[in-house]
Amino acid sequence: MNQFQTMLDGTVTSAKGFTAAAVAAGLKKENQLDLALVVSENDCSCAAMFTKNQVVAAPVVVDRETLAANNSRLRAVVINSKNANACTGEPGLANARATQQIAAQALGCEASQILVLSTGVIGVQLPMAKLEAGIVAGAAGLSRENGRLAAEAIMTTDTRPKHVAVRVELPGGPVIIGGMAKGAGMIHPNMATMLAALTTDAAVAPDLLDGLLKTAVNQSFNRISIDGDTSTNDTVLLLANGMSGTAVSDPESIAQFGAALNQLCTVLAHMIVRDGEGATKFVEIQVTGASSEADAHQIANTIATSPLVKTAFAGSDANWGRLLMAAGRAGVPFDQTKINLWIGVHQPDELQLVANGTPTDYQEADAAAVFAQPEFMIRLDLGVGGEGTAVVWTTDLSHDYVSINADYRT
């Protein structure tokens, strides 16, 4: 029996002891939900990963400071959309810290127990009066039933909320990991304009939680790309409140919990790619036979972010020369006379386009039929003889992507 039970209708409040609120605070137009709170009944261990962009938003700065001082007694997360609070100088930092204070007062805890996340337009100060009123209203309306609404409240150009939960049977008993994410553009490894709040009722020490989260993120959120840009606000955080009574501390529990966390993060990452701005294709790129995983990832990522490759996806043009071109400029040495290339919808039905660096006698119509599918895979074997493999998930680059981003601030 599968040790995981994935609940696609699960949310950030599926784990015991977590509630949420979603509020229309007036940050978006037309009374849309734009502010979310996620709150634990008990103190939580917390781990987080942030953008590697050197231009970072005020909430990222404040959250790094907060977690450096306290990673074992967190209670809540406040997330606003529409405004990134990025490139806002000292006033932006003051507003992020004021958000912590407002939430702490409303929830009856300390400011050092609050994390703040923001997403939206860069370079605009937060409307603090609206934010304060929204936080107070949210704190008064917390419920386990609000998980889906919270996922809606953090959306920007997303077309649908992204949430899921996983139940896993550990030796000490069952635990649940739940989560929500937002992201549809500015998506690239080292995370993207992406926020993810994850929760679990397992008891996990902060240092162990940190290692498990890093592994999961590197196998999921850091393996997706929509447009090659990384944001100022990228954050993935995981809160563990221990309310299931089950500890993750022995090797078997650690392995099983880690695998379930990887699964949950991968499902959320795939949701982000499938909802990519203007995307019509979901493409899995596999690179095998490399000297190392790092080499394989570098090549897969270069293919995934090539504008020429992505426009070929959009046009259902099986122009495999663009795939090899992108691989060749990735900065990883290989012998082009040894490479093999396949495409397909399902691996057993792969169509080989290149064998030992030479085109096969495939039928162009068969290749075009694969590229016309909404989901397909590409597998490039370098023939180096190594065991390095990597998988990256990406999208096409369509006319709608340009239209959405040309209009973003309006």
Sign (positive/negative) of CA torsion 330, 405, 85, 28?
Answer: negative
Q: Are strands 114-118 and 4-7 parallel, antiparallel or unpaired?
A: unpaired
How does pLDDT run across 221-236, given as a tens digit for each residue? 888 865 445 668 889 9
Helices 320-328 and 293-305: crossing angle, nearest 10°? 130
What's the CA gap between 199 and 46, in Å, rounded? 9
Average pLDDT over residues 182-209: 78
Query: What pLDDT, on the 0 to 100 scale, is given for residue 121?
Result: 87
Question: Which tokens in the block code for residue 126?
Answer: 């937060």
Average pLDDT over residues 189-198: 68
Q: Are strands 282-290 and 375-381 parallel, antiparallel or unpaired?
A: parallel
Residues 6+ apart with CB under 8 A from 396: 279, 280, 281, 283, 310, 311, 313, 314
**Bridge partners, 114 (sequence order):** 76
Query: What pLDDT, on the 0 to 100 scale, is given for residue 250?
Result: 97
Confidence of residue 277 (pLDDT cuts 50, 70, 90): low
Share of the chain above pLDDT 70, in %: 91
Class of domain 282-406: alpha beta
**Annotated domain spans of the chain:** 4-274, 282-406
Among the ranges given (154-168, 175-189, 360-374), the one the predictor scored with the smallest mean pLDDT: 175-189
Share of the chain above pLDDT 90, in %: 75
337 in catalytic set: no
Q: ∠ CA(409), CA(185), CA(91), 5° rounding?
A: 50
The position carrying tokens 């609120």 is 21
Residue 256: how many other CB atoms lie within 10 Å: 18
> Residue ranges of the alpha helices (H) in 188-285?
206-218, 251-274
What's the CA gap between 304 and 188, in Å, rounded? 10
Summary mean pLDDT of the chain: 90
Confidence of residue 404 (pLDDT cuts 50, 70, 90): very low
What's the CA gap between 380 and 156, in Å, rounded? 35
Query: What pLDDT, on the 0 to 100 scale, is given for residue 399?
Result: 53
Question: Which tokens in the block code for residue 70?
Answer: 């306290």
The answer to whether residues 226 and 188 touch, using CB atoms and an 8 Å cutoff, is yes
Question: Which tokens in the block code for residue 148?
Answer: 């889906």
4-274 maps to which CATH number?
3.60.70.12
Q: Is the pLDDT of residue 86 over 90?
A: yes
Helices (H) and strands (E) counted in the chain, each on its own, are 11, 16
The position carrying tokens 């989560």 is 179
DSSP character at residue 83? B
Q: What is the DSSP track for 369-401?
A: HHHTSSEEEEEEE--S---EEEEEEEE---HHH
Residue among 51, 88, 119, 193 flagged as catalytic: 193
User: pTM for the whole thing?
Assistant: 0.84
Among the ranges given (106-120, 125-139, 165-179, 212-226), the one the predictor scored with the smallest mean pLDDT: 212-226
Query: What pLDDT, on the 0 to 100 scale, is given for residue 1?
Result: 34
Query: What pLDDT, on the 0 to 100 scale, is given for residue 400?
Result: 52
How does pLDDT run across 38-74, given as a tens digit for each residue? 999 999 999 999 988 888 999 999 999 999 999 999 9
Closest CA to 192 of 394, 398, 330, 22: 394
What's the CA gap between 277 and 397, in Å, rounded? 9
Sign (positive/negative) of CA torsion 152, 158, 161, 163?
Answer: negative
